[in-house]
Amino acid sequence: MDDRARYEAQLDTLIALITYMALTRWRSRSPNGLSKDLGLAEDVVTCALNGFPGLFRQSADFYPTDAGPQHSFTLHARYARRRPRGADPALNQPAGAHNTASLSDPEPTQDGTGEELDAETLRALLDYVTERARAERDTRFHTQSIRWLLAAATVAALASLAAAVIQTLQ
């Protein structure tokens, strides 16, 4: 996918991810958990999470999920609001022992209640993403307009040249 069209092409997925991740009780989620919760294809979710590192923070570690070990993700804006926590034994369990990424409700160690983004911050993120998508669309439109303008100028120049040649031959 062309980098210049990333926001425009994935706008619906970005809005869903940002809104959900800003307001959910979960501190972070795996692509597998997000796709189940949002009803989106996991590959679409993974592409958006990995494609926008300025919006989404990827964990350093892998965690067990129904789809195998995966990184967990959170919004950078939400990560900055995290409260200090003690050790998280649920994250250091062997694969399959307890799958926190597939739970419908977060366990106490994954509960981010009180860390949700406020309406102003959420609005700023959504405005940023929609403005970037709009700018990409406008840039694409202007690029196409310039191509048509250059094509028309070329045709006009060729017609002028042909008229000059015909007039010279007479």
pTM higher than 0.75 for the full model? no
Sorted by where each begins, the domain ranges of the chain are: 3-133
Nearest to 70 by CA among 45, 89, 51: 45
The pLDDT score that the predictor gives to residue 94 is 44
Q: In Å, what is the CA distance from 83 to each residue of 46, 76, 101, 115?
A: 26, 14, 20, 8
Q: Is the pLDDT of residue 12 over 90?
A: yes
115 within 8 A of 94, measured Cβ to Cβ: no
Secondary-structure class of domain 3-133 per CATH = mainly alpha
Residues 74-97 pLDDT 10s: 999 999 888 776 544 544 544 444
Beta strand residue intervals within the chain, DSSP E: 56-63, 70-75
Read off the pLDDT band of 113 (50, 70, 90): confident
Residues 16-67 pLDDT 10s: 999 999 999 899 999 999 999 999 999 999 999 999 999 999 999 998 888 8
> Averaged over 152-157, what is the pLDDT?
89
